[in-house]
Amino acid sequence: MSSPSDTAASPLVDMTNPDHSVPAPIITVSPAAHAQIVAMRDEEPEQDRLGLRLEIISAPGEPFRYDLSFEITTKAAFTDEVRTHDGLKVIVPAKDIDLLTNATLDYTDSQGLVIRNPNKPAAPSVEGLVNDDPLSAEIEAIVSAEINPALAAHGGFVTYVGHDTEGTAYLTMGGGCHGCSMSRMTMLEGVQTTLVDQIEGISRVKDLTDHAAGESPFYQ
């Protein structure tokens, strides 16, 4: 089962946690999603041994894509985290814990299973770009305080990737901005204007997003 949740601990939790306290959920599973997943699980062989594995399969810098599958919980990797939601075990790989924390797995009749994730994808690593200097700190501060709050009204956001030391800042776009025919206009007229006007040393912005992967690709 692919497409686009969490309270039992990793298999050894009782051995490593002497007070047997219940770990906090990583994500929330809505009642509607819980009912759908349990119904699907109960149609599988060995349903009593199965948990829902939830994994991020997109690369850094890309909008989140997820894979959901049933897995025998005792075969989960030692580093995986397992949580139990009202009898439903959810397995989250260690690499995805931070990016799935506070997300919600929901179900609607129109969308099916959907993950509402408040986190943003990690920025891609691009050789030759700088992202850990004072100029980058300035850019990230403006992206966080001004640009992303404005784009959030349209369900979008940008992620700062780095700059080339020659005046160009590189970003990716996600959410409502990704794949949208207005993406280029938004980037050039909005994001670029804001950064160029406020930060000395930045004269242009380039978008590294693969918009062809969006629902309404604008350019390739």
**Span 199-215, pLDDT tens digits:** 999 999 988 876 555 44
pTM, two decimal places: 0.58
What pLDDT is recorded for position 120?
A: 80
Give the confidence band of 220 by pLDDT, cuts at 50, 70, 90.
very low
What region does 13 belong to: left with phi over 0, alpha with psi -120 to 50, or beta?
Answer: alpha
Task: Please state which of the ranges 18-32, 38-52, 83-97, 140-154 shows the lowest mean pLDDT.
Answer: 18-32
What lies within 8 Å, CB to CB, of 77 at 6+ separation is 93, 94
Q: What percent of the chain has pLDDT over 70?
A: 77
Higher pLDDT, 19 or 183: 183
The hierarchical CATH code for the domain 13-116 is 2.60.300.12
Reply yes or no on whether the pLDDT at 59 is more than 70: yes
What pLDDT is recorded for position 186?
A: 62
What pLDDT is recorded for position 111?
A: 86
Give the confidence band of 36 by pLDDT, cuts at 50, 70, 90.
very high
Q: What percent of the chain has pLDDT over 90?
A: 51
Higher pLDDT, 138 or 121: 138
Matching CATH number, 134-213, of 3.40.50.300, 4.10.1240.10, 1.20.1250.20, 3.30.300.130: 3.30.300.130
Higher pLDDT, 77 or 188: 77
Reply yes or no on whether the pLDDT at 98 is more than 90: yes
Higher pLDDT, 46 or 154: 46
Q: Where in the chain is the domain with CATH 3.30.300.130?
A: 134-213
Q: Where in the chain is the domain with CATH 2.60.300.12?
A: 13-116
